[in-house]
Structure 1
Amino acid sequence: MRRLMINADDFALTDGVCQGILQAMERGVVRATTAMTRPEGATGRITAHAAALSGRMGIHFQLTGGHPPCLPPEEVPSLVTAQGVFPRKRMDIGQVSADEIRREWRAQLDLLRSCGVSPSHMDTHHHVHKRPDVFPIYLETARELGIPARATNPAMAAALRAAGVPCADAFITGFFGEDLTTGRFLELVAAAFALLPGSAVVELMCHPGKNDAELSRISAYNQAREQEIAVLSSPEVRIGLGAMGVAVCGPEDIPRP
């Protein structure tokens, strides 16, 4: 059986995002989520849902998003802007200190754990681990934690597996933006599995959420999150996956190397 782990990024970004992710998990095909700890109010949101999402909540490590770091800004100067916050986008990151990344991510991890979450898997906001100067810390962290980590391309997957880190066989990024239909979703899944063996596990990234006032204020990707909920909760998606012989799964089903 081919398996698909559908992960909702950005848990704890806003109340509405949490509500949308929970709806897509309860009524739809989403089976996992990764939580960010740096948005205002994030720890309260994570704590409120930690027990219900045990084994299904991972960590969404941040070096971007415009939020303040977990550590005091003066302790991680290479990671923050003049205003003492992370750059908004990956492209805005300058030269960074590996030690500062390591310590900041450890602080984010400790904060998540203090909310009652033992992370089941890991990834990063805006895929910052695609940067050559960040990936070694990402790999090191994944190896230490012993949990599945998101690989955004085959070379990254090979490097993670060589270090003993579990990861999916392929990663789908295309379910994002304006073309959010059940047909598009199923096309992306079919294309990902087309060249893989029958036992393959694929990860699909999504961003469902309710478009509350806070989300509209801080993110340009807002109304589309509502459409993601509709697609991910639709009977057509369940039927289509079944017709392809694809079962949805959670992080516990990511194979170990």
Structure 2
Amino acid sequence: MNEPRVRLIVTGDDFGYCPLRDQGLVEAFLAGALTGVSLLVNGASADTAAQLARRHGIPAGLHANLSEGRPVSPSLGSRASLIGPGGFFLGKMGFRKALAEGRVMLPEVREELRAQLSRFQDLLGQEPTHVDGHQHVHVLPGVRQVFAGVLREHGVRYTRVPVEAGLRRCDWLEPQLRTFALAVEEDAQAAKEEFKELGLRWPDAFIGLSTMGKDMSVSRIEAAIERAVESVLSREEILQGGRAVTVELMTHPGYPSVSPTSGCGEGPDAFSQSWERLHELQTLLDPALHNSYRQRSIKLCALEDL
């Protein structure tokens, strides 16, 4: 291949959530469809997932989790602001509501993030290649400053900034998902300056909010990559060949989860048990997608290759 036009990082989220999910993620990596994973260290299969990453040389980052399952820090008791009934985190929207109402104690966020990074080191024997956020908690106001500071302490350079070009025009998204995705994008846009000030880096562009689950297809991945390139380069740069643009594609492939050997302590959620995870896996493995990569001078690479 000539010099690539796009260097595409394909990240598989939720590694360690379920043995069946992990199986699909490993298959995708070995087939050249994924370039790395993000590990949930409080996931039901975190230990065996870490063993798989080490065995197969899978680049692994931390999927920082403040919203699902049980905390890693032993000192976060039932009265902690991050914890709800049963000793579990408050949930995707519950955490956001508590944060907006000023009920989340940010020192607890710092403590839990440090504990998760320590757990990652115990499992993998090294610092993560990157840290992103489960359900995008890392870009939320207040959390993002603490998050960036903890990453700096640990010397982690790369994170995810989920701002996707043209997201508002993706009219196939269901209303609830669209509203959430646009809110995530707004928070991520606001996080950029604070991340930059603390020395964090991320790819030139991000895609994946418009291609989750049933919404993923070869043509939509192709279109999202083109929108990403156009958001980074001017028309003149594109016509002249320009420089290679780095793009991260967020994915959630795998086989459907089953109880009780999955989740983060509360069992698997509906999305993880659905056919949509398998649909993502099949799409990412589709030869048509890989032919498209070759035809469009898109080269898959890991974050650590940048």
TM-score by length of 2: 0.76
Other-structure match for 1:32: 36
Match of 2:135 among 118, 126, 140: 126
Give RMSD over aligned pairs.
Answer: 2.1
Cα drift, residue 117 of structure 1: 4.1
Residues 137 and 75 of structure 1: CA distance in aligned 2, closer, same or farther (over 3 Å): farther
Residues 47 and 179 of structure 1: CA distance in aligned 2, closer, same or farther (over 3 Å): closer
Other-structure match for 1:183: 219
Other-structure match for 1:108: 116
Residues 75 and 100 of structure 1: CA distance in aligned 2, closer, same or farther (over 3 Å): farther
Q: Kindly indicate whether the alpha-carbon contact (under 8 Å) linking 1:157 and 1:167 is maintained by their aligned counterparts in 2.
A: no
The structure carrying a bigger helix percent of its residues is 2
Q: Kindly indicate whether the alpha-carbon contact (under 8 Å) linking 2:39 and 2:61 is maintained by their aligned counterparts in 1.
A: yes
Q: Kindly indicate whether the alpha-carbon contact (under 8 Å) linking 1:161 and 1:167 is maintained by their aligned counterparts in 2.
A: no
Amino acid at match of 2:194: A
After superposing the two structures, state which structure 1 stretch, 121-130 or 166-175, moved more: 166-175
Cα drift, residue 55 of structure 1: 6.2
Amino acid at match of 1:211: P
Asked whether 1:219 is paired with 2:269, we answer yes
Moved over 6 A (4+): none
Q: Kindly indicate whether the alpha-carbon contact (under 8 Å) linking 2:17 and 2:43 is maintained by their aligned counterparts in 1.
A: yes
State the Cα deviation string for residues 83-139 of structure 1 (Å, max 9, x = none).
Answer: 211122144441211111111111111111111242111101000012102110111
Amino acid at match of 2:226: A
Q: Give matches, 1:72-83, under 5 Å.
A: 72=74, 73-74=76-77, 77-83=80-86
Other-structure match for 2:239: none
Q: Kindly indicate whether the alpha-carbon contact (under 8 Å) linking 1:57 and 1:120 is maintained by their aligned counterparts in 2.
A: yes
Task: Structure 2: state its 5+ residue gaps.
Answer: 164-188, 234-242
Cα drift, residue 161 of structure 1: 2.7
Q: Kindly indicate whether the alpha-carbon contact (under 8 Å) linking 1:55 and 1:120 is maintained by their aligned counterparts in 2.
A: no
Other-structure match for 1:203: 248
State the Cα deviation string for residues 166-215 of structure 1 (Å, max 9, x = none).
Answer: 21111112220322221122111121112323322111100001113236
Q: For residues 101 and 155 of structure 1, what CA distance do their matches in structure 2 show? A: 19
Cα drift, residue 76 of structure 1: 7.0
State the Cα deviation string for residues 136-166 of structure 1 (Å, max 9, x = none).
Answer: 0111122222321111234433432332212
Aligned length: 252
After superposing the two structures, state which structure 1 stretch, 141-150 or 78-87, moved more: 141-150
Q: Give matches, 1:1-257, under 5 Å.
A: 1=4, 2-42=6-46, 44-52=47-55, 54=57, 56-65=59-68, 67-72=69-74, 73-74=76-77, 77-93=80-96, 94=98, 95-118=103-126, 119-144=128-153, 145-153=155-163, 154-172=189-207, 173-197=209-233, 198-214=243-259, 218-221=268-271, 222-254=274-306
TM-score by length of 1: 0.90
Residues 53 and 105 of structure 1: CA distance in aligned 2, closer, same or farther (over 3 Å): farther
After superposing the two structures, state which structure 1 stretch, 185-194 or 31-40, moved more: 185-194
Q: Kindly indicate whether the alpha-carbon contact (under 8 Å) linking 2:159 and 2:200 is maintained by their aligned counterparts in 1.
A: yes
Question: Counterpart of 2:37 in 1: which secondary structure?
Answer: strand
Q: For residues 212 and 54 of structure 1, what CA distance do their matches in structure 2 show? A: 24
Q: Kindly indicate whether the alpha-carbon contact (under 8 Å) linking 1:64 and 1:125 is maintained by their aligned counterparts in 2.
A: yes
**Taking every aligned residue pair, what percent have the same amino acid on both sides?**
26
Amino acid at match of 1:40: A
Amino acid at match of 2:195: L
Amino acid at match of 2:156: G
Q: Kindly indicate whether the alpha-carbon contact (under 8 Å) linking 2:11 and 2:34 is maintained by their aligned counterparts in 1.
A: yes
Task: Structure 1: state its 5+ residue gaps.
Answer: none
Q: For residues 8 and 55 of structure 1, what CA distance do their matches in structure 2 show? A: 11
Residues 235 and 158 of structure 1: CA distance in aligned 2, closer, same or farther (over 3 Å): farther
